């Protein structure tokens, strides 16, 4: 669906701040000023590409949202497009069609690197054929098997490609990049957490109640807010509630904002003690799936099946199992509209990514009136979950507060896919290389694992050497080293004296989870270097490990952890594989040393 493409001039100083900055610098350095203007213009067009991409939210699932803006050499918008639904024309094709001849020598702005799922390079070809000279990309594709492919293809066709955060930096660029992350947060979070992007939404009174003590809840929020909820539903693949909300509210859970995407409805009920008559059993608009405990009320299951309702049984009915199941069915995003009981279970099991709380200026009171989140087992305020990227918005008379419970995982720094690996290790040939997987210590190449029982000697801050029983012991302890707190110091000692690498990992991870304030503030920026130094020591002092590492020359090394998507490669290669990457880097360095010494 191409949008109309009036040739419109876009200002290169869109905000007062950037304008002021541009003016100050122009006095000193014209070249710098031009650069700043280009950056500001790039940021404006990328934000527009993200805005366009967002138009099809809910329709492209489980694919990403793509938007494209084509600008002429002078920065005027010549054409725009966005992917309307999966299988329809790519955004880049639509934008190029809309721009026609105006795209010659122009710049294309993409919120995300095209994925080329079909292998026809349709997006890349469209830009090449349109005569585009420069492509600015908000984000690399978040899925590892697609990441970097289109960027490489564009560059090999001679187009200049600039990726935000890699080739372009600065405040405006970072903000533009954030808008690209937000548009595809569901895809990015889903890929990293292997559950659908889950949003918990509730409406509460000013005194924190989601219903009166009688259970009556219609309505807390205003009509305007409820219309907004219809939009949220329209962006989701499914809306989920617990059995009690079905019994109490008899909800419909449809998106009634006119013509939008209609989400599936899911009911989670252990007892299956649900009414025979319910709005959710009427699927004239959309179907309902009931998920339950294996063996629950078989006759009622048959009754639901006779009405055309799908029933799925689980051995253990908990939010994580249910979400993993829907992830495997291809669901991209789920809106939780349950009460506090199920909301607490969902938060505890770590599946909720984002929260939308509508706060109505009303007070209902009631000691036993339900609240949005039930028991989480926390006893001190320091344990409270802090929302990230919080937004406050007035909706009618209500206030909508939204924010992330987990940060959107960052797909940069870029871990190369198999054919990019040769850039870190030239012994690896792009197309014919073998992949060596390692994970558990008893596997072939298991000695590559950080849990292998190879002690290392590492210097502390004052240069004194200490022995650590494994790389894992050292790595876990470094999270808390230098933190001026007796609990952190005890933690370091406990990790150091842990009897096994598993125990060291357990202590380190649970301290990090439960007391994140004890983790050194620079941890995220130093952890790769910490790991690199520990590995370098391990593979330097044990000659047989060094030989084993060198014997893998030419192969890609992947830590086959299905869970650790940072150090490991993930279940389907979606992990960043930093551990494998460091091993390949070390291998390359050791090989280089042996060539120079021979
Ligand atoms: N204002 C608002 O935004 C909202 C208000 N409400 C109000 O909240 C009240 C209902 O709250 P609440 O009772 O907490 O309802 P929930 O929607 O949280 O339902 C709880 C039920 O979920 C089912 N369930 C399935 N698996 C689990 C699990 N692993 N852990 C926990 N529960 C599970 C059980 O159903 P079963 O018993 O069938 O086995 C359980 O009784 C009502 O008064 C309703 O009006 C509800 C939603 C939103
Ligand atoms: N009470 C309440 C909400 N309650 C939620 O909305 C459901 C009813 O949806 P429907 O039947 O489709 O209109 C209900 O079961 C519960 O999940 N939502 C809100 O935005 N504001 C409100 O005040």
Last residue in a domain, options 185, 216, 251: 185
Segment 22-71, tens digit of pLDDT:
333 333 344 444 555 678 999 999 999 999 999 988 887 778 899 999 99
Ligand 1 pocket: which of 248, 278, 320, 342 to mutate (most atoms within 8 A of CB): 342
Over 417-479, what HEC string results? Answer: CHHHHHHCCCCCCCCCCCEEEECCCCCCCHHHCCCCCCCEEEECCCCCEEEECCHHHHHHHHC
Residue 2 belongs to some domain of the structure: no
245 Cβ inside 6 Å of ligand 1: yes
Report whether 518 contacts 486 (CB < 8 A): no
Report whether 217 contacts 594 (CB < 8 A): no
Q: Are residues 62 and 210 in the same domain?
A: no
Residue 15 belongs to some domain of the structure: no
210 Cβ inside 6 Å of ligand 1: yes
Could you read off the pLDDT tens digit of each residue along the chain, which spans 598 residues?
333 333 333 323 223 333 333 333 333 344 444 555 678 999 999 999 999 999 988 887 778 899 999 999 999 999 999 998 877 899 999 999 999 999 999 999 999 999 876 667 899 999 999 999 999 999 988 887 788 889 989 998 999 999 998 889 899 999 999 999 999 999 999 988 889 999 999 999 999 999 999 999 999 999 999 999 999 999 999 999 999 999 999 999 999 877 778 899 999 999 999 999 999 999 888 999 999 999 999 999 999 999 999 999 999 999 999 999 999 888 999 999 999 999 999 999 999 999 999 999 999 999 999 999 999 999 999 999 999 999 999 999 999 999 999 888 865 444 444 445 556 666 665 444 578 889 888 888 999 999 999 999 999 989 999 999 999 999 999 999 999 999 999 999 999 999 999 999 999 999 998 999 999 999 988 999 999 999 999 999 999 999 999 999 888 899 988 778 889 987 667 778 899 999 999 998 998 876 666 5
Segment holding 314, helix H or strand E:
strand 310-314
Report whether 372 contacts 343 (CB < 8 A): yes
User: Nearest CA to 443 among 434, 433, 451, 432?
Assistant: 451
- Among protein residues, the one with the nearest Cα to ligand 2's atom 12 is 253
Segment holding 288, helix H or strand E:
strand 288-293
Ligand 2 pocket: which of 215, 238, 251, 396 to mutate (most atoms within 8 A of CB): 251
Q: Please give the distance, rounded to the nearest whole angstrom, from the Cα atom of residue 105 to the centre of ligand 2.
A: 52
Q: Which residues line ligand 2 (CB under 6 A)?
A: 203, 217-221, 225-226, 229, 241, 245, 249, 251-254, 337, 358
CA distance 487 to 499: 20
- DSSP string computed for 146-173: TTTHHHHHHHHTT-EEEEBTTTB-SHHH
- Ligand 2 atom, smallest distance to 245 CA: 15
Predicted local distance difference test score (pLDDT) of residue 29: 44
Residue 97 belongs to some domain of the structure: yes
Q: What's 81's domain CATH number?
A: 3.40.140.10
317 Cβ inside 6 Å of ligand 1: yes
Residue 22 belongs to some domain of the structure: no
| Shortest-distance ligand to the CA of residue 245 | 1
Those residues with Cβ within 8 angstroms of residue 207's Cβ, 6 or more apart along the chain or in another chain: 363, 364, 365
Q: Are residues 457 and 554 in the same domain?
A: yes
Those residues with Cβ within 8 angstroms of residue 343's Cβ, 6 or more apart along the chain or in another chain: 200, 202, 336, 352, 372, 373, 374
**Quick check: is 92 catalytic?**
yes
Segment holding 23, helix H or strand E:
helix 16-28
Q: Are residues 198 and 181 in the same domain?
A: no
Q: Are residues 166 and 233 in the same domain?
A: no
Residue 3 belongs to some domain of the structure: no
Predicted local distance difference test score (pLDDT) of residue 370: 98
- Among protein residues, the one with the nearest Cα to ligand 1's atom 11 is 339
Q: Please give the distance, rounded to the nearest whole angstrom, from the Cα atom of residue 489 to the centre of ligand 1.
A: 43
Last residue in a domain, options 185, 202, 231: 185
- Ligand 1 atom, smallest distance to 246 CA: 17
CA distance 394 to 212: 24
Please count the structural domains in the chain.
Answer: 3
340 Cβ inside 6 Å of ligand 1: yes
- Among protein residues, the one with the nearest Cα to ligand 2's atom 23 is 220
Domain region containing 423: 418-596
- Among protein residues, the one with the nearest Cα to ligand 2's atom 20 is 226
- The pair of three-digit structure tokens given for residue 210, joined into one six-digit string: 């989601």
- Among protein residues, the one with the nearest Cα to ligand 2's atom 3 is 203
Residue 339 belongs to some domain of the structure: yes
| Shortest-distance ligand to the CA of residue 213 | 1
Q: Please give the distance, rounded to the nearest whole angstrom, from the Cα atom of residue 343 to the centre of ligand 1.
A: 8
Q: Are residues 151 and 259 in the same domain?
A: no
Q: Please give the distance, rounded to the nearest whole angstrom, from the Cα atom of residue 338 to the centre of ligand 1.
A: 5
CA distance 385 to 375: 13
- Residue 208 zone, left/alpha/beta (φ > 0; ψ -120 to 50; rest): left
Burial class of 50 by CB neighbour count within 10 A (0 to 12, 13 to 18, 19+): buried
Predicted local distance difference test score (pLDDT) of residue 60: 77
Predicted local distance difference test score (pLDDT) of residue 411: 57
Q: Are residues 340 and 218 in the same domain?
A: yes
Q: Are residues 77 and 165 in the same domain?
A: yes
Q: Please identify which of the residues 80, 92, 472, 574 carries the catalytic annotation.
A: 92
Those residues with Cβ within 8 angstroms of residue 101's Cβ, 6 or more apart along the chain or in another chain: none
Residue 373 belongs to some domain of the structure: yes
Last residue in a domain, options 152, 185, 218: 185
Q: Please give the distance, rounded to the nearest whole angstrom, from the Cα atom of residue 214 to the centre of ligand 2.
A: 16
Q: Are residues 450 and 330 in the same domain?
A: no
| Shortest-distance ligand to the CA of residue 318 | 1
Those residues with Cβ within 8 angstroms of residue 464's Cβ, 6 or more apart along the chain or in another chain: none
Q: Are residues 476 and 575 in the same domain?
A: yes
pTM listed for this prediction: 0.71
Q: Please give the distance, rounded to the nearest whole angstrom, from the Cα atom of residue 396 to the centre of ligand 1.
A: 27
- Ligand 1 atom, smallest distance to 345 CA: 30
Residue 147 belongs to some domain of the structure: yes
User: Nearest CA to 371 among 246, 207, 201, 200?
Assistant: 207
Q: What's 226's domain CATH number?
A: 3.40.430.10
Predicted local distance difference test score (pLDDT) of residue 20: 31
Q: Please give the distance, rounded to the nearest whole angstrom, from the Cα atom of residue 406 to the centre of ligand 2.
A: 25
Q: Are residues 331 and 470 in the same domain?
A: no
Residue 384 CA, distance from chain mean position: 22
Q: Are residues 302 and 180 in the same domain?
A: no
Q: Are residues 226 and 107 in the same domain?
A: no
């Amino acid at each position: 669906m191409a949008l109309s493409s009036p040739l419109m001039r876009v200002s290169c100083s869109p905000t007062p701040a950037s304008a002021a900055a541009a003016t100050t610098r122009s006095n000193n350095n014209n070249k710098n000023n031009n650069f700043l203007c280009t950056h500001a213009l790039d940021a404006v067009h990328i934000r527009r590409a993200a805005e366009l991409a967002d138009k099809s939210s809910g329709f492209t699932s489980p694919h990403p949202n793509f938007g494209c803006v084509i600008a002429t050499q002078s920065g005027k918008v010549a054409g725009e497009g966005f992917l309307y639904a999966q299988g329809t024309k790519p955004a880049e094709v639509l934008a190029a069609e809309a721009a026609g001849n105006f795209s010659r020598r122009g710049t294309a702005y993409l919120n995300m690197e095209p994925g080329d799922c079909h292998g026809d390079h349709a997006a890349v070809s469209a830009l090449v054929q349109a005569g585009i000279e420069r492509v600015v990309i908000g984000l690399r594709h978040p899925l590892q098997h697609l990441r970097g492919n289109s960027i490489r293809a564009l560059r090999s066709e001679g187009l200049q490609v600039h990726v935000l955060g890699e080739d372009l930096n600065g405040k405006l660029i970072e903000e533009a990049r954030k808008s690209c992350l937000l548009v595809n947060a569901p895809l990015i979070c889903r890929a990293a957490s292997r559950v659908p992007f889950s949003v918990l939404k509730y409406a509460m009174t000013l005194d924190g109640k989601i219903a009166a003590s009688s259970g009556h809840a219609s309505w807390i929020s205003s009509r305007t807010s409820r219309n907004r909820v219809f939009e949220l539903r329209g962006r989701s693949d499914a809306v989920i509630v617990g059995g009690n909300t079905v019994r109490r509210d008899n909800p419909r859970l449809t998106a009634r904002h006119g013509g939008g995407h209609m989400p599936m409805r899911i009911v989670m009920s252990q007892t299956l003690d649900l009414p025979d008559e319910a709005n959710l059993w009427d699927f004239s608009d959309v179907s309902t799936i009931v998920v339950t405990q294996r063996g629950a009320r078989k006759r009622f299951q048959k009754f639901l099946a006779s009405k055309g309702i799908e029933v799925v049984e689980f051995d253990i009915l908990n939010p994580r199992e249910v979400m993993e199941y829907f992830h495997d069915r291809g669901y991209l995003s789920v809106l939780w509209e349950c009460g506090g009981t199920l909301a607490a279970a969902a938060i505890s099991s770590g599946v909720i990514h984002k929260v939308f709380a509508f706060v109505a200026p009303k007070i209902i009171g009631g000691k036993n009136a339900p609240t949005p989140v039930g028991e989480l087992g926390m006893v001190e305020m320091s344990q409270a979950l802090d929302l990230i990227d919080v937004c406050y918005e007035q909706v009618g008379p209500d206030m909508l507060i939204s924010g992330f419970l987990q940060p959107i995982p960052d797909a940069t720094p870029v871990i190369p896919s198999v054919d990019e690996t040769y850039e870190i290790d030239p012994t690896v040939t792009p197309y014919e290389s073998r992949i060596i997987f390692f994970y558990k210590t008893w596997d072939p190449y298991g000695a590559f694992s950080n849990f292998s029982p190879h002690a290392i000697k590492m210097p502390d801050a004052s240069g004194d050497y200490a022995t650590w029983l494994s790389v894992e012991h050292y790595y876990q302890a470094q999270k808390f080293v230098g933190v001026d707190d007796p609990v952190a110091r005890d933690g370091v000692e406990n990790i150091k004296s842990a009897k096994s690498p598993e125990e060291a990992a357990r202590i380190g991870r649970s301290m990090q989870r439960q007391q994140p304030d004890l983790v050194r503030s620079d941890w995220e920026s130093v952890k790769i270097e910490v790991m690199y130094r520990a590995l370098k020591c391990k593979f330097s002092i044990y000659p047989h490990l060094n030989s084993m590492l060198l014997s893998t020359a030419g192969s890609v090394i992947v830590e086959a952890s299905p869970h650790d998507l940072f150090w490991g490669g993930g279940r389907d290669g979606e992990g960043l594989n930093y551990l494998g990457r460091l091993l390949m880097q070390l291998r390359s360095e050791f090989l280089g040393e042996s060539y120079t010494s021979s």
